Amino acid sequence: MKKLRILVADDHGLMRRGTRALLEARHGWRVVGEATNGREAVEKAKGLKPDVAILDISMPDLDGVQVTRQIREAVPDTKILVLTMHESDQMVKRTLDAGAHGYILKSDLTECLAIAVGAVSEGRRFLTPKVSEIVLEGFLRTKGQHQPAEQAGAQTTPRETEILRLLAEGKVNKEIAALLGITVRTVETHRSKIMLKLGLHSLADLIHYAIRQGLIAHGGPEGGTSR
């Protein structure tokens, strides 16, 4: 099993201890640090450079969205998994736009945590079935505002579809370029064309679209997101 270094950030001690126990029950997984507020989470991520940072949304000093953004900027190789009680499509959208790879509810902690951590550590997206449903319901409520080109019958080319899927799975431009044997600039050009063609305005919109089209699947008890 892959060895993983994990940071856990939550202002509730009981939640941190429970999360740590579940993680360290997996062979080769080690919680290298804990944080009780957002600012501490950022500083520990910078110092420890964990493979995965598990963040609560509602923390003192900096909230989980701000922490996600700052960690992704300072330690881009660290994958972010949001663990929260917030069942809001807007909150999911904000965290995904900030750079989070996964979003699970605390009610799904025991069932999904290990699967989610394994998925995001490999650079894949992870949304539980319940979170996927929340995301899709929010997307459908606003689809008239976010899909002008798609409604007009816009179609992506095979290469654009491949890049769209990789972006939705959590790959960054550099990773996509290496996987497809093209330049980073080419990936950036394709990404801009995809967003314009489909009338998408953010990474979260792109992920919503990819889920609706079956390009990525939601996570669940039997496994993480898949191609």
- C-alpha span between 127 and 8 (Å, rounded): 19
**Residue 117 confidence (pLDDT):** 94
Reference 97, options 60, 58, 52, 66; nearest CA is 66
pTM of the model: 0.69
Q: Specify whether the CB–CB gap between 194 and 200 falls below 8 A.
A: yes
**Residue 221 confidence (pLDDT):** 39
Q: What are φ and ψ of residue 33, in 5° steps? A: -170, 155
Q: Specify whether the CB–CB gap between 48 and 73 falls below 8 A.
A: no
- C-alpha span between 54 and 104 (Å, rounded): 10
- C-alpha span between 184 and 177 (Å, rounded): 5
Segment-wise mean pLDDT, segments of 10 residues, the chain, 227 residues: 88 93 93 96 97 93 91 92 84 85 89 91 83 69 50 73 84 86 91 86 78 64 41
Q: What stretch of H or E contains 52?
A: strand 52-55
Determine the topology of domain 4-127 in CATH: Rossmann fold (3.40.50)
Q: What are φ and ψ of residue 5, in 5° steps? A: -110, 125
**Residue 182 confidence (pLDDT):** 93
- C-alpha span between 150 and 160 (Å, rounded): 14
- C-alpha span between 212 and 200 (Å, rounded): 13
**Residue 67 confidence (pLDDT):** 94
Reference 92, options 137, 35, 146, 53; nearest CA is 137
**Residue 210 confidence (pLDDT):** 81
In one-letter notation, the amino acid at residue 59 is: M
Determine the topology of domain 148-199 in CATH: Arc Repressor Mutant, subunit A (1.10.10)
Tokens standing for residue 215: 């390009």
**What are 168-194's pLDDT values in tens digits?**
877 778 888 999 999 989 998 998 888
The reply to whether 4-127 and 148-199 are identical in fold is no
Tokens standing for residue 101: 């790879």
**Residue 226 confidence (pLDDT):** 39
Distances (CA, A) of 206 to 50, 137, 194: 27, 15, 9
**Residue 29 confidence (pLDDT):** 95
Q: Give the 3-state secondary structure percentages of the chain, helix then strand then coil, rounded to 5.
A: 55, 15, 30
**Up-side HSE of residue 128: CA atoms within 13 Å toward CB?**
24
Q: Where are the domains of the chain?
A: 4-127, 148-199
**Residue 150 confidence (pLDDT):** 47
Q: What are φ and ψ of residue 72, in 5° steps? A: -65, -35
The residues facing 53 across adjacent strands are: 7, 80
- C-alpha span between 206 and 210 (Å, rounded): 6
